[in-house]
Amino acid sequence: MNTFRPALHFVAALALVAFCTSLTQAQALRTWVSGTGDDANPCSRTAPCKTFAGAVSKTAINGEIDALDPAGFGSVTLTKSMTIDGTGTFAGIAAAIGNGIVVVFTDPTNDPLKTVRLRGISINGTNTVGGAGTQSGLRGIYVSPTSLGQPKVIVQDCIVDGFTLDGILFNANGGDLVVTNTISRNNVGAGIKLDSAGGNLVHGTIENTKLIFNGDGLRIEDNVRAGVKDSVMSSNTGNGIAAINVSSSAVVQVMHSLISENRQNGLVAGGNITFSTIQIAESMIIHNNVGVAFSDANGKINSWGNNYLSINGTNGTFTTSTVPFN
């Protein structure tokens, strides 16, 4: 018996080491997906998974999922910091039902960065069954109001197309959205919408991005501070840029951008309280039904100079013109 007991301890120790080793292997810093992969695989370079969802559980916090080849990799929910990179391939998500990518952090204590990075992904919400060619997906990228902490989401070199709500909706209680070199188009709601779910500010940075053929191009609501540069908000059925708050102030600064061909307003500001504000400089506001408009007395649209407000059905008038830079 005395001889047998140490042997049991030795076996138990070996089992514990094997268990810990398997956990380590299951949480790789870099995993891979392929159109010919299998989610039963470990998601390694030589044995890739088939879907983004299959790779998430095998990727460590702040790790990276890379696409090996062109394919549709399915909708995914991200509950931890992670990069999904489809650069160099035709990496896509067909989200005919629900949302393409959902960000909802569940453990901010063990995930201090709270950052999701999305690169080189095409996200499509078009229906493929029944009413083929119609839109049926909800949102391309959705940052949930139930996300714990204040998430940071970076969207780079992506296309979001054909959703029944917004292309990109950031609705957490505070946090940051950075969108660069991206197209959000053909969405019934806004191409990009920012709206804090609580008392914390949502910060948005949008650069070199096209928001076209949506309801609104860019829409900001409560507790939002945003900056737009070198971007296009055009040919939307609603407004190019709408700053409409419900309970808290919303402010967006715009520079070097084109706001054109929007069927309602190029720029519109208003809301239930004061300081729903658009500040714009060195931009073109042309060929809209109305260039500058206010939904009520609580909106302000200030020109910081060198804007071209012309050739609209009605041009409208800035609240303040040529506000000097400080």
Q: Please say if the pLDDT value at position 178 is more than 60.
A: yes
pLDDT digits (tens, 9 = 90+) for 224-262: 999 999 999 999 999 999 999 999 999 999 999 999 999
Q: Supply the DSSP symbol for 109.
A: G
Chain mean pLDDT for the chain: 91
pLDDT category, 14, cuts 50, 70, 90? very low
Strands in 276-281's sheet, in edge-to-edge order, are 28-33, 59-67, 82-85, 115-119, 152-156, 175-180, 202-207, 224-229, 250-255, 276-281, 299-303
State the pLDDT at residue 108.
Answer: 86
Share of the chain above pLDDT 90, in %: 82
The predicted pLDDT at position 275 comes to: 83
Q: How confident is the model at residue 321 (pLDDT cuts 50, 70, 90)?
A: confident
**pLDDT (0 to 100) of residue 10:** 47
Looking at residue 16, its pLDDT comes to 46
Of 215, 158, 147, which Cα lies nearest the Cα of 186? 215
Residue pair 153/103 in contact (Cβ under 8 Å)? The answer is yes
CB atoms within 10 A of CB 123: 28
Quick: pLDDT tens for 139-152: 999 999 999 999 99
pLDDT band at 134 (very low <50, low <70, confident <90, very high): confident
Phi, psi of 12 (to 5 degrees): -65, -40
Distance CA 101, CA 119 (A): 12
Which contiguous run of DSSP H or E holds residue 24? Answer: helix 4-26
The two most distant CA atoms of the chain are separated, in Å, by 96
**For residue 273, what pLDDT is reported?**
83
- Asked if the model's pLDDT at residue 192 lies above 90, the reply is yes
Q: What is the mean pLDDT of the segment spanning 125-129?
A: 78
Instruction: Give the mean pLDDT of 178-184.
Output: 98
